[in-house]
Amino acid sequence: MILSPKLFIDTCVAKPLSNRILNYYTAVYPSIQITHLTDFYRQSRCDSKWLPNLANEGGWIAVSADHGRDKTKPSLPQLCRDYKVSCVLMTDTLHKKGQMMHQEVLHEILRNIKPIYAAPPGTVISIGQIQERGGIVKFAFRINRVGKPQISLGSFLQNPT
């Protein structure tokens, strides 16, 4: 089966990165789609307006750093769960590292796109960095579950309860 990734990039990532990543991965995934929020909506568009469209089309993975701390509106993670749109959320630390790190995050998401798509629609995944013995730093994907501790993506896929 040929995978056709569809990433919807929120405004936390600069729009030129979307195009750069799309051009890079087109050879690997000929039907890849990478869309930036500002391709179709104004920058401050409420998540509850664009998420239903992604849900109706199906197969989209939202990429953001919006963890839903503004209690005056529905949070992006909860809306993703409600609409069954999976999302990958950068940790605050990664988000604050700037554009080059955002590019690395997008590469890491696409390197791990098969397990991300293996998770049920509506799964909220965090991507962060961990430091291992010897000073090696690598990316880690964790599943955010309501009322439960985080779990690694690999462990979740083995037992998704």
Q: Which range marks the domain in which residue 40 is found?
A: 6-158
Within-domain flag for 84: yes
Residue whose token pair is 């605050």:
92
- Domain for residue 151, yes or no? yes
Domain presence at residue 57: yes
Residue 65 counted as domain residue: yes
Check residues 6 and 133 and name the one with the higher pLDDT. Answer: 6
Instruction: Count structural domains, the chain.
Output: 1
> Is residue 14 in some structural domain?
yes
**Dihedral of the alpha carbons of 70, 12, 77, 107, in degrees to the nearest 10:** -160
Mean of pLDDT values over 79-96:
94
Over the stretch 52-84, which tens digit does the pLDDT of each residue have? 999 999 999 999 998 766 677 788 899 999 999
**Average pLDDT of the residues in 44-52:** 80
Is residue 70 in a domain?
yes
| Mean pLDDT, residues 136-161 taken together | 85
Note whether residue 1 is domain-resident: no
Which range among 33-47, 75-89, 138-152 shows the weakest confidence by mean pLDDT? 33-47
- The per-residue pLDDT for range 94-146, each reduced to its tens digit, is 899 989 999 999 999 999 999 999 999 999 999 999 888 887 889 999 998 88
Residue 120 located in a structural domain: yes
Higher-confidence residue of 43 and 20: namely 20
Q: How far apart are CA 88 and CA 39, in angstroms?
A: 19
| pLDDT of 38 over the 70 cut | yes
- Highest-confidence range of 11-15, 29-33, 39-43, 69-73, by mean pLDDT? 29-33
pLDDT at 45 over 90: no
- Phi-psi category of 84—alpha, beta or left, where left has phi over 0 and alpha has psi -120 to 50? left
Beta bridge partners of 122: none
